[in-house]
Structure 1
Amino acid sequence: MKKLLLSSAAFALLAACGQAGLSGDTTELTANSAIEAPAQIGDWGFDQTGMDLAYAPGDDFYRFANGHWLETTQIPSDLSNFGMFTELALEAEEQVQEIILELAAAHPAAGTIEQKVGDLYGSWMDTETIETLGLTPAQPYLDAIAAADTPEAILNLFATVGQPAPLDIGIIPDPADTTRHTVYVGQGGLGLPDRDYYVDLENENYARYREAYTAFIARMLDLAGIEDSASRAAGIMALETQLAEVHWTQERSRNISEIYNPMPLDQLAALAPQLDFANGMTQMGLDGVATYLVAQPSAIEATARIFEETPVNVWQDYMTFHFLQNNAGNLSSAFDRANFDFYGRTLNGTEEQRPRDRRGVNLVGGQLGEAVGQIYVDRHFPPSSKAAMEELVANLVTAFQGRLARLEWMDEATRANALRKLSTFEPRIGYPDEWQDYSALEIAPDDLFGNAMRINAFNWNEQVADLAGPVDRNQWPYPPQTINASYNPLMNQITFPAGILQPPFFDPNADAAINYGAIGAVIGHEIGHGFDDQGRRFDYDGSIRDWWSTETNAGFEERAARLGAQYDTYSPIEGMTVNGTFTMGENIGDLGGMQMAYTAYHQYLDSCCGGEAPVIDGYTGDQRFFLAWAQVWRRLYREDNLVARLTTDPHSPSQYRTNGIVRNLDAWYAAFDIQEGDALYLPPEERVSIW
């Protein structure tokens, strides 16, 4: 059983902006009629050189704001897409790499976090040792798979840390009582990104990927010296196709009402007796839990039948391949290159692999992220930014309170519950109050593979230890240098790491309209996740409870369905469209975030400037507000990466995060004088307003 090492993300509950951001400083929130210093982007926070004025705002606002940038920017050869988030991520990489190299050069004492950071990076960069060792470090794990010649032995390996399995198992806060933990059990085990890659026989891209994936499986087995690789690869592909056929779709798997299936261990064991959950949970230290949260019961039941019907030797081949693939980056360059050729080049269209040193930075940032994050925060996140973000969040909450109070389709009882939930939101800005303790983790300077295995065990043991105690609300889903933002409905927390609190999201010298249209809308987006099609099913304390009246629920569903229908028509590449149901939560987050931010911006103008914003370079305050939102979503995609995103990413492609939102906002029509006949024009009765 595959151990899941990300808490609430395991239950598909962590709603991220998909790369979103924040940033602030209490002195920068002025109308900026007299800016003391130029903004980092342009003079007032927007890159006018990236616009294409040949496009009318009402025909394609995304290209009006970003067209020249889109036409003249090239995706770097080692990336699958490129945009504002990528630029920030590359900048953060440089800053983190500087920290790592400084720590390594200081020759820190053994056992210190500085030693672990330096030696993990050093073991990754020690390619001579990696090549010399070849497959040797992985051999004990491969030997264990080869020796598992009975169904019982295979099940024991499924429950072993570091070994692959056809299920995902992890530890998350219990939605019935979020002060304690429970165990999550969900479908898993596929090497391609999603079930559609296996079962959709009409899409030519998927057919090409299936063929390439089968060849990749054979290549990995060949590199390991395993005979009859083509036949074994065909067997593995056939097994994964069977698993994919019983998997739930992405849209169904994000429906809280369907995936919330708590059951005691005896019921779980009876659901899938072939998988011997009672023994597996005991082996993993997960026994003694009152109820287990089973996300896709029918898929688990069917996976158990597939397990029973599949010969042991096929499961051995399956586990051998997936172990090699999971650890390709920790083995010799032949495995690493083969893995990139398929997952990077074929599935995402990336032309060449990223430099090894940058991949090493991301390895350390991912596995020891809070260790380097502490230094990153000291250097790159001033206290003034944290204070400004707190003020911005408060402004957005106030704006949403007002909107909820005036919402005509919400009855008073539901409104009272909504306002209570909003009042208990916990914003977390910049970095955690308590840093992770890595003292139990051993890192060696010349043992990359061993380091990876010890990190797996360390992370799993941390989760198991969590199971025994109350939920720690101070834990963060990612380190502070991350370029993202998120909402966790189980904790009712919105999290804005330091990495995203910089231009184009926030700039202390930018125009207030830019800051509200960028970071303000992102704050609103994350707040909105607490009230989107899934987040609204959680109460103020994170527990699952239906607090909506029948009439108000119908009003919400009608509006959400109309928004989803709009997105169902958007097609960024031939033969594929956005899935309006799968992307519903993020689209509602974008729409609500812009509505909240616009209200907050005008409340700010009322408080400081008599309700009026200056005209800057010919653009009104409202126009600059909407341009800021468009600038945030500048992005180019390789076609293969876009196929993957349309299949697996709950966020809509960037052009629809811009055009799909503004065409529903009356204020945008007024700001740019949008008229009937413009391509993006929607009649007032067709515009969707939820919050």
Structure 2
Amino acid sequence: MKRSLISAACCALLLLSAPSHAQQLSGIDLKTLDTAVRPQDDFYGYVNGIWVRNTEIPADKSTWGTYIELREIAQGQLRSVIEATVKHPGKAGSETHKIADLYTSFMNEKARDAAGLKPLRADFARVAAIQDKRELPALFAYLQSTGVPTPFSAGVSPDAQNPEQYTVSINQSGLGLPDRDYYLKDDDAKLKGLRDKYQQHIATMLAMRGDQHAAEHAAQVLDIETRLAKVQWTRVQMRDPVKSYNRVEFARFSELAPAFDWNAYFTAAGYAPKVSSAVVRQPSFLTGLSQQLDEVPLDAWKSYFNWRILESYAPYLDRASVKQNFAFEGTALRGVPQSEPQWQLALRFTDASLSDAVGKLYVQTYLPPETKPRVMAMFNNFVASFKDGIDKLDWMGPETKKEAQAKLAALKPKIAYPEKWRDYRAMKTSKTDLIANVKAARAWSRQNNLDKLGKPVDRDEWSMTPQTVNASYSPLLNAITIPAAILQPPFFNVQAEDAVNYGLLGITFGHEISHAFDDSGSQYDSHGRLRNWWTAEDRAAFKARAAGLVKQYSAYSPVPGYHINGELTLGENIGDNSGLSITYNAYQRSLGGKPSPVIDGLTGEQRLYIGFAQKWRAKLRPEAAIAQIKSDPHSPGEFRAKGTVMNQPGFYEAFGIKPGDSMYLPPEQRVIMW
């Protein structure tokens, strides 16, 4: 495994090290092509039709596709890394010893069964001891320090108005179901049915801890969550960074939400006296929460917090609790018939708790040193193509173009792994007590976040781990992150000509760079400051084009009766559409003016688009698809593939798309933002 991964990682920049033409492969998975389908009529079906027909979603997964396949590969790699530490943990207190402790404690089901709910007795007793609502602020602060959800969350992040310093940010929270619609859509039988199952699940779990009035308390929990859902902002509303930036002095929080002792909370949470204000993302939610704190009896709030505690720790308790938790969270909510194997659950917990310690071992084992500089060169090729694209925009004036070029020039790439690793020496671990390890990891994370207050923003810090199969853009840091784990098959093929690798991996570069200029990211400047750097005319032109994407994607219905929310997914759809346009241009740039080679009867341009569509091949269980539509800003894979190529001029040329073909969009309806 290790040997093949190193070979794969070396192809991170194929344009520098591609094999000779005689050795080149197309890189296309030809077995999945359904040649009975015309690409002009159903491109996704043409590229992935045979795969879709012949692939079954594994029993322990809610979805399956190229991304999940790569994640499974990375999980296998991590398993070898972590299980090696179990065999040779090193000295007590070392990072490898801590990794071994966490993994071993999770795998020890006998110890977990013997412990039952006893590790949570102190937390339940803390809730039971509350006699007055004035004690709730201290409870909020304590639960947040242990990672237990409360009606609002609070954390430290860069200040959008002053990116050199950190600020406290407060966000709405407190729901157990994926989105507010699950509580409020009475005309949707599926969502209403899940709501009923959720209440029964709460009652079952509470009864398992000995609650003699579990049904009554479950009804109280659902009532509180429904009240919170009614005053929450929608996910579309939360995408507006200007409306979501509201700085409030601590002294004025009592005007916003008078039923809560904010001074007591900020002191107990450790924010005061370090700072004297916070950014409130949804001010009206706090006002609504205050009303509910005033109206709902204390005993009902106690039921709510008992449930939040139990739910938060359920995956780490005895087998009976884990089984019941999965019956709802996995099967009812996402349609997954069986749980993942124990080792995979243990690995995920260990990885999340000691992410940089695990990542350091992962990089040492699976990533050769020459990969990072090669990928950096690929990144520079994409930046150059994006730069040319900005210059050629016919809808943007010179003043805004100058600002856009400055932002692009300042964009920071974070490739493969961080330069600095987090220090876990303060985290205490146990080989036998899983709940103690869960609490220790959560407390470390909370304290690590809190310690940032008063310090300059660390612009080199990573928000992802090297072993994560994903990528990201941070508008506050104006930085993209490309972790090591995606620098391998199926996103790479060392024997393939560049085209398919551009369509599989290269689009990741184009997509993340485009996030700097999507409907939300474009409201931050080159330094990550929330600032309007657009002329009024150019912003209007941008919004008009964005409206076209909203309309296009809102027409797609992955599950009968459920349409993609074009406004919620707009940022990701801009990333896909602009990213693929830049990817095409970058590939053309790599050819140096020469025609692309024809391999397996396909031109380079055709292979690029086919690779892109193969990247997004996926099958979802209906329950998982509904959850994604309601809560995820990404469109389901089929529509990321077909919706994006329909806007690309190069796609029409590569496959001869003409009026009358199902994949044809009239030129005036095609949208390329950048």
Tell me the TM-score normalised to structure 2 length: 0.96
| Alignment pair present for 1:367 and 2:353 | yes
Q: Is residue 204 from structure 1 mapped to residue 193 from structure 2 by the alignment?
A: no
What is the DSSP-based 3-state SS (H/G/I as helix, E as strand, rest coil) of the residue aligned with 1:390?
Answer: helix
- Which residue of structure 1 lines up, in the alignment, with residue 3 of structure 2? none
Q: Deviations over 1:19-57 (max 9, x none)?
A: xx9984445557766254x7xxxx432101011111111
Whole-Å separation in 2 of the counterparts to 1:639 and 1:164: 27
State the match for 2:158 in structure 1.
173
1:433 to 419, 439, 444: 419
- 8 Å Cα contact 1:23-1:505 kept in structure 2: no
Separation of aligned partners in 2, 1:35 and 1:331: 57
- C-alpha distance 32-65 of structure 1, shift in aligned 2 (>3 A): farther
Match of residue 263, structure 1, among 242, 248, 266: 248
Q: CA deviation at 1:291?
A: 3.0
Correspondence for 1:325 among 308, 311, 324: 311
Looking at structure 1, the residues matched to 564 and 377 of structure 2 have their Cα atoms a distance apart, in angstroms, of: 35
- 1:439-474 deviations in Å (ceiling 9; x for gaps): 000001011011111111111111111112111122
Q: Distance in 2 between matches of 1:32 and 1:69?
A: 28
In 1, the alpha carbon distance for the partners of 2:17 and 2:106 equals 47
Which residues of 2 match residues 387-398 of structure 1 at below 5 A?
387-398=373-384
Q: Distance in 2 between matches of 1:96 and 1:689?
A: 39
Query: What RMSD in Å do the two structures reach over aligned CA positions?
Result: 1.5
Task: Please say if residues 29 and 511 of structure 1, whose CA atoms lie closer than 8 Å, have aligned partners that are also in contact.
Answer: no
Distance 2:259 2:170 in 1: 15
**Is residue 46 of structure 1 aligned with residue 35 of structure 2?**
no
Contact 2:242 2:530 in 1 (8 A): no
Match of 1:243 in 2: 228
Of 307, 323, 342, which aligns to 1:356?
Answer: 342
Name the structure 1 match of 2:479. 493
Distance change >3 Å, CA 23–CA 663, structure 1 → 2? farther
Match of 2:60 in 1: 78
Q: Which residue of 2 aligns with 1:10?
A: none
Query: Post-superposition shift, 1:507?
Result: 2.8
Pairwise CA distance, 1:383: 2.2
Q: Note if contact 1:203-1:575 (Cα within 8 Å) is conserved in structure 2.
A: no
Q: Following TM superposition, by how much is the alpha carbon of 1:227 offset from its aligned partner in structure 2, in angstroms?
A: 1.0
Q: Is the 8 A contact 1:149 1:313 kept in 2?
A: no
Q: How many residues align?
A: 663
Q: Between 106-115 and 302-311, report the one with greater CA deviation.
A: 106-115
Aligned equivalents of 1:177, 1:660: Cα separation in 2: 37
The answer to whether the 8 A contact 1:174-1:180 is kept is yes
1:122-521 aligned within 5 A: 122-160=104-142, 161-162=145-146, 163-288=148-273, 289-521=275-507
Tell whether the 8 Å contact from 1:22 to 1:522 is kept in structure 2 after alignment: no
* 1:509 Cα deviation from its structure 2 partner: 2.4
What SS is found at the alignment partner of 1:185?
strand
Matched-pair contact (CA < 8 Å) for 1:33–1:614: no
Percent identity between the two aligned chains? 38
Work out the CA distance in 1 between the residues paired with 2:632 and 2:567.
Answer: 12
CA distance in 2, matches of 1:290, 1:34: 64
> In the alignment, is residue 674 of structure 1 matched against residue 674 of structure 2?
no
Contact 1:381 1:498 in 2 (8 A): yes
In the alignment, is the contact (CA less than 8 A) between 1:246 and 1:303 conserved in 2? Answer: yes
Question: What is the CA-CA distance between 1:179 and the residue it aligns to?
Answer: 1.4
Q: In 2, are the aligned partners of 1:330 and 1:448 still within 8 Å (CA)?
A: yes
- How big is the shift at 1:518? 1.8
Task: Give me the whole-angstrom Cα distance separating, in 2, the residues matched to 1:105 and 1:428.
Answer: 33
Q: Which runs of 5+ in 2 are unaligned?
A: 1-7
Equivalent in the alignment of 1:580: 566
Which residue is 1:630 aligned to? Answer: 613
Aligned: 1:539 with 2:525? yes
2:353–2:442 Cα contact (<8 Å) kept? no
Supply the AA of the counterpart residue of 1:178.
Answer: P
The amino acid that maps onto 1:559 is R
Q: Does 1:652 align with 2:610?
A: no
Indicate the larger mover: 302-311 or 504-513.
504-513
Amino acid at match of 1:54: A
Determine helix, strand or coil for the equivalent of 2:370: helix
Matched, 1:63 2:45: yes
In the superposition, relative to structure 1, how do residues 360 and 145 fare at CA in structure 2: closer, same or farther (>3 Å)? same
Secondary structure in 1 matching 2:90: coil
Partner secondary structure for residue 273 of structure 1? coil
Q: Distance in 2 between matches of 1:30 and 1:449?
A: 49
Residues 35 and 241 (structure 1 numbering): CA distance in 2 closer, same or farther, change over 3 Å?
A: farther
CA distance in 2: counterparts of 1:465 and 1:116, whole angstroms: 22
The answer to whether the Cα contact below 8 Å between 2:11 and 2:494 also exists between their aligned partners in 1 is yes
TM-aligned CA distance change 1:302 to 1:35, over 3 Å: farther
Judging changes above 3 Å, is the alpha-carbon distance between structure 1 residues 531 and 255 closer, same or farther for their aligned structure 2 residues? same
The answer (yes or no) to whether the contact 1:81–1:641 under 8 Å persists in 2 is yes
Larger mean Cα displacement after TM superposition, 496-505 or 190-199:
496-505
The answer as to 2:96 corresponding to 1:114 is: yes
Using the TM superposition, give the Cα deviation of residue 290 of structure 1 relative to its aligned residue in structure 2, in angstroms.
Answer: 4.3
Answer yes or no: is the 8 Å Cα contact 2:82–2:99 preserved in 1. Answer: yes
Are 2:66 and 2:615, in contact at CA under 8 Å, matched by a contact in 1? yes
For 1:570, the equivalent position in structure 2 comes to: 556
Q: Which has the higher contact order (CA 8 A, sep 6+)?
A: 1
SS of the counterpart of 1:118? helix
Measured against aligned partners, the alpha-carbon deviations of 1:119-144 in whole angstroms (never above 9, x if no partner) come to 11111111111111111111010111
- Residue type of the partner of 2:236? E
1:330-381 deviation digits (Å, cap 9, x = unpaired): 2111111111111100110001011111110111111111112112112211
Aligned residue among 16, 21, 28 for 1:34: 21
Whether the 8 Å CA contact 2:647–2:672 is kept in 1: the answer is yes
Change (3 A) 1:572 1:29: farther
Distance 1:99 1:327 in 2: 26
Q: Give, in whole Å, the separation in 2 of the partners of 1:561 and 1:32.
A: 44
Q: Whole-Å Cα distance in 1 between the matches of residues 232 and 60 of structure 2?
A: 32
Structure 1 portions without partners, runs of 5+: 1-20
Q: How many angstroms does 1:107 deviate by? A: 4.1
Structure 1 residue 389 displacement after superposition: 1.1
- Determine the C-alpha separation between the residues in 2 that align with 1:627 and 1:682: 19
Deviation at 1:233, TM superposition (A): 0.8
2:15–2:590: 8 Å Cα contact kept in structure 1?
Answer: no
CA contact (8 A) 1:528 1:592 kept: yes
For residue 414 of structure 2, give the secondary structure of its aligned residue in structure 1.
Answer: strand
Match in the other structure for 2:5: none
Q: Which moved more, 1:434-443 or 1:55-64?
A: 55-64
Q: 1:568 to 1:27 in 2, by over 3 A?
A: closer
State whether residues 12 and 487 of structure 2, in contact with CA within 8 Å, keep that contact through their aligned partners in structure 1.
no
Residue 159 of structure 1 aligns to a residue in which SS?
helix
Distance 1:86 1:202 in 2: 33
Which secondary structure does the structure 2 equivalent of 1:183 belong to? strand
